[in-house]
Chain A
Amino acid sequence: MTIVDIGIPRRLVEFTVDGETVRVPEGLTILDACTATGTDIPTLCYGDTLEPANACRVCMVEVEGSRTLVPSCSRKAEPGMVVHTGSERTRTSRKVVLELLASATDLSTTPGVAEWLAETGADPDRFGPDAATVAQPAIVDNELYVRDYGKCVLCYKCVDACGEQWQNSFAITVAGRGFDARISTEFSNPLPESACVYCGNCVEVCPTGALSFKREYDKRADGTWDESRQSATTTVCTFCGVGCNLTLHVQDNEIVKVTSPHESSVTHGNLCIKGRFGWQHVQNR
């Protein structure tokens, strides 16, 4: 979270980032502290509403005295820590991690990655034409969303959002292990046979477009998805008394997607099926 909410008074921790002394409230991660003080660190699996899984290893920084690099998204800032975010070692690590990911995964709908690849001088092709990938056909087994796991970076966010951190539905998990690990329902059964309640919270947190709303997926497929023509309006859901905030994404006078603001202290970006998908009646023509 970029906003440093001090809440009950907390002690301040003083440490160094790239030679500058930084003071932040105790309990913040290195990433929080850097974001709050204007140092940019790329992340992929970091979720602003989720416990860090620290699995992607894109956000690694150098902490003096540590044998290995350190995930900034989960390591708490400690007094006297000396952190380097742009050293040779961190740059090499970021480059290779991105190369590995890009060589195995379709990152075409992952925001940010193209720039990071260019910035670090990454060359995913250097692993050769026969490099193993996670390419596979997209799974379209319901009317509401599409699972295109050829784009999945295994960030664990959807599993955490569906499971104990938010929805408590436990419809999906990581199955298999190593390079064969993948997001799956039990026995890879179709989603409609699983415990999924179609809240769409997994889609909300997916950073790569591996999970997407069917409307968006179809429009991308027929070439009519155009974010530059879209506007977003935040309003209040009227289905029940909770009163969640809905952000309507509208393209050409048609609702094409509903998300929810992560800053909302009530829902943190989570919705139920009605708020997320119950908008077709607005525009039945």
Chain B
Amino acid sequence: MDLKLLDAVASREEEEAVAGFAGGGRDQLLPALHAVNDRVGWLSQGALNLICETLHVPPADAYGVASFYSLFALEERPERVVHVCTDLACRVKGAETVCEVLTEHVGAAGKARGGVTWLRGPCLGVCERAPAALTFQAGDPATTELVAPATGASAVLAAQREPSPSDGSPPLIHQKDGLRLLRRVGVVDPSTLDGYRATGGYAALRNALRMGEAAVLREVTDAGLLGRGGAAFPTGRKWAATAAQPAGPHYLVCNADESEPGTFKDRVLLEGDPFALVEAMTIAAFTIGARQGYVYLRGEYPRALRLLRNAVAVCRERGLLGTDIMGHPGFSFDIEIRRGAGAYICGEETAIFNSIEGFRGEPRTKPPFPVEKGLFGKPTVVNNVETLVNVPLILTGGAAAYRAIGTEASAGPKLFCLSGNVERPGVYEVPFGTTLRELLALAGGVPEGRSLRAILLGGAAGGFVRPDELDLPLTMEDARAAKTTLGSGVVLVLDDLADLGGFLLRIAEFFRDESCGQCVPCRIGTVRQEEAIHRYLAAGSDERALLREVGGVMRDSSICGLGQTAWNAIESAIDRLGALG
């Protein structure tokens, strides 16, 4: 391929940012775009040109990729950008007030003034401390500051001064007893391997290496571990199918994109127990025969990035990543952390592949499935962070003990993300089968003096349940029987004062914003859905028949799960809460 490059020339700063990528290929495109955007704050034609020349990517292609992600700017913008979350949980907790104060003191969203701009944006994944704002300051090095919970005043302050480099405070766990997945979070120093090992870390990998691949596979399968990323697919089956593929190499991808509004459990695991993920991935790699793994981490998780980077580096130093791991001859595995750049769709398992490979984060058509043709066209396992962190539990206690937790069809412990109008928002760990009422009680219920209006279960792609449905046991099978879903574990509580209409509008807006645009039902359907809800809220017109027809076709004919679920929550609000009527 002969490249025709742009005439524009890169600045010295841009050159420095790109220098480290010499000799790289297209799969370095996302990291290279990040490097310039981090350093300068935006991507000029000169910078893009240099990246294209360095990585041998056509400029139009690179532009198509850069313009896909919301964290990249292709027009000059200030070095400091404040992202204010206006998504579900933050909305419930007063994000609009924060925006009003910012507009008054800093100017309208998106307008550059005095070296800063602020933007309204989707969920930042710190819903337990809503409302949240995150400042990015370009430079060498780039810095970030998380302000959560934010007030109008603290957000204005964050916009007006250099961020004091802080990636937020450590996750706080309210629960004390019976924790397995969360037992180290907030207790053990997440930056030291010794702390991890002192609390049983790496016993599971030792067991796995002793047992051999087949036995690990049997144990994980017998444990009945179901994927925790939303689709609840049996992990053992996925691993076995990939392990059995003759084509090589095999890849492992940990899905740490976590951009579902209201979801923050993976962040809490990553920040509180990063070595557990590294160990779990090493076990998975051993079992499926992968030598290379990727963690696809959402771009808005600075603290998780710092701690995970540290964990990977320490493990490499101590022979727990690299070659002949733990002295096991011939077992090599390493992990690369890939930062996302602001695109919910990149959590879809095949969109991740495109994103890592340096293409637009558009989902691929299935079949073929990832276990057969995944990353770089090779057999690949994609697993969620929480799913993986269950694996060491299984390999230390055994499948039978694991199975003793939860129910027959939904085994093990489960993390739920409680946010909204609840006394103590946060991540809670309970056995599958705990009822919604019990879970709510753990978090202190709705604040005193208010009553429960509805719960959004499973996130923006999930559905609403009513106060009279609180005896629902939280299992995959009971959720399915009740025509709802646990999804990624979102439990977003709305009280009697919540603005349900505005909340539904935000859900519709989220899907319209986050559609990749590839297929017609989703690209245009999500726009029509949002318009219809607008019309209802403005004029009270009955849009339910139209919403049902468009929603049904989005569900039936969209390429991927985003379009297929974009109408779930709104449909359930109509059917179960009598909304929009």
Contact = CB atoms under 8 A, between A and B. Distances in A.
Interface of A: 54-58, 60, 68-69, 71, 74, 89, 92-93, 96-97, 100-101, 103-104, 126-128, 130-132, 153-154, 163, 168-181, 184-187, 189, 193-195
A101 B525 CA distance: 9
Contact of B48 (A131, A168, A180, A186): A186
A189 B63 CA distance: 11
Contact of B550 (A55, A100, A163, A175): A100
A216 B516 CA distance: 33
A176 B559 contact: no
Given A55-B519, A154-B523, A186-B63, A100 B528 contact: yes
B60 A173 contact: yes
A100 B552 CA distance: 13
B64 interface: yes
Nearest to B549: A96
B74 A177 contact: no
Name which of B345, B524, B550 has the most chain A CB atoms within 10 A of its CB.
B524
Give the 6 A-B residue pairs with the shortest CB-CB distance, closest first. Answer: A181-B517, A173-B64, A170-B58, A195-B4, A186-B63, A186-B59
A93 to B, nearest CB: 5
B520 interface: yes
Given A177-B516, A179-B512, 5 more contacts: A92-B552, A177-B515, A181-B523, A186-B62, A187-B45
Contact of B546 (A71, A97, A126, A154): A126
A127 B64 CA distance: 30
Nearest to B556: A69
A96 B550 contact: yes
Interface of B: 1, 3-4, 6-7, 45, 48, 58-64, 67-68, 74, 343, 345, 360, 365, 512-521, 523-528, 531, 535, 546, 549-550, 552-553, 555-559, 564
Nearest to A194: B60
Given A170-B60, A178-B516, A93 B531 contact: no
Contacts of A171: 4, 58, 60
B557 A69 contact: yes
B526 A186 contact: no
A168 B552 contact: no
Given A178-B514, A179-B512, A60 B557 contact: yes
A154 B515 CA distance: 14
Contacts of B60: 170-173, 184-186, 194-195
Contacts of B519: 54-57
Nearest to A164: B1
Contacts, number: 158
B63 A187 contact: yes
B7 to A, nearest CB: 8
A153 B520 contact: yes
Nearest to A162: B60
B527 A132 contact: yes
Contacts of B63: 173, 175, 184-187
Contact of B523 (A172, A179, A189): A179
Contacts of A174: 64, 360, 517
A178 B6 CA distance: 27
15 contacts: A57-B520, A68-B556, A97-B557, A104-B524, A128-B535, A132-B531, A163-B58, A168-B1, A173-B60, A174-B517, A177-B67, A178-B516, A184-B63, A186-B62, A187-B45
A41 B345 CA distance: 30
A208 B524 CA distance: 17
Contact of B512 (A175, A178, A187): A178
B521 A96 contact: yes
Name which of B1, B517, B550 has the most chain A CB atoms within 10 A of its CB.
B517
Contacts of A130: 531
Contacts of B527: 104, 131-132, 179
A178 B513 contact: yes
A194 B531 CA distance: 37
B528 A127 contact: yes
A57 B557 contact: yes
B556 A89 contact: yes
A177 B74 CA distance: 14
Name which of A96, A132, A194 has the most chain B CB atoms within 10 A of its CB.
A96
B517 A177 contact: yes
A73 to B, nearest CB: 10
B549 A178 contact: no
Contact of B521 (A100, A181, A195): A100
